[in-house]
């Protein structure tokens, strides 16, 4: 926020692009509220935490990552965080099943549910994934969904930061 304040003194900050996901929620503590107050756009990246919040990721896949893949060294991909993060991903499955979308669509929809988040940058490796992101963009998570997700965050201990969109 301090850097944003310094930039704002020079010229209005039009947009911010922070990392933001169910696992990495710290932008919600200061940056996103700052942007809301100043009508600054927030386009988050890595809403699926570099693949961790997708159906295809598991501990075995982490072990198969190339030696030079930065994720091998990332704290979210190492014990005990990896187990917590995968438990969170698994805890999202009932919400996804009820909504008839993928777990990753729920993860993206959760980031878009935050007041002030104007978009999310996602990667896709297939046309089906693109369809999933389109579904996520129009998926309104209800109070029961958000309660279940907040409970899963508390239960698994995954990540840090606020657990419920505001």
pTM of the model: 0.92
Convert the pLDDT of each residue in 64-118 to its tens digit. 889 899 898 899 999 999 999 999 999 999 999 999 999 999 999 999 999 999 9
**pLDDT on residue 116:** 97
Fold for 2-156, please state it: TIM Barrel (3.20.20)
- Higher per-residue pLDDT: 133 or 82: 82
**pLDDT on residue 65:** 87
Q: Which long-range contacts (CB under 8 A, 24 or more apart) does 132-139 make?
A: 132/101, 132/102, 132/104, 132/105, 133/105, 133/108, 135/101, 135/105, 136/101, 136/104, 136/105, 136/106, 136/108, 136/109, 136/112, 137/108, 137/109, 137/112, 139/99, 139/101, 139/105, 139/106, 139/109
Query: Domain limits of the chain?
Result: 2-156
């Amino acid at each position: 926020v301090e850097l944003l304040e310094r930039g704002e003194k020079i010229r209005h900050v039009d947009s911010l692009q922070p990392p933001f996901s169910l696992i990495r929620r710290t932008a919600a503590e200061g940056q996103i509220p700052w942007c809301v107050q100043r009508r600054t756009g927030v386009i988050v990246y890595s809403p699926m935490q570099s693949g961790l919040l997708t159906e295809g990721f598991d501990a075995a896949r982490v072990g198969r990552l190339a030696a030079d893949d930065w994720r091998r060294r990332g704290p979210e991909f190492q014990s005990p965080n990896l187990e917590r993060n995968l438990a969170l991903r698994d805890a999202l499955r009932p919400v996804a099943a009820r909504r008839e979308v993928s777990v990753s669509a729920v993860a993206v929809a959760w980031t878009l549910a935050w007041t002030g988040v104007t978009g999310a940058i996602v990667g896709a490796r297939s046309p089906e994934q693109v369809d999933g992101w389109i579904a996520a963009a129009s998926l309104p998570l209800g109070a029961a969904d958000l309660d279940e997700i907040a409970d899963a965050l508390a239960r698994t201990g995954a990540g840090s930061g606020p657990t419920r969109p505001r």
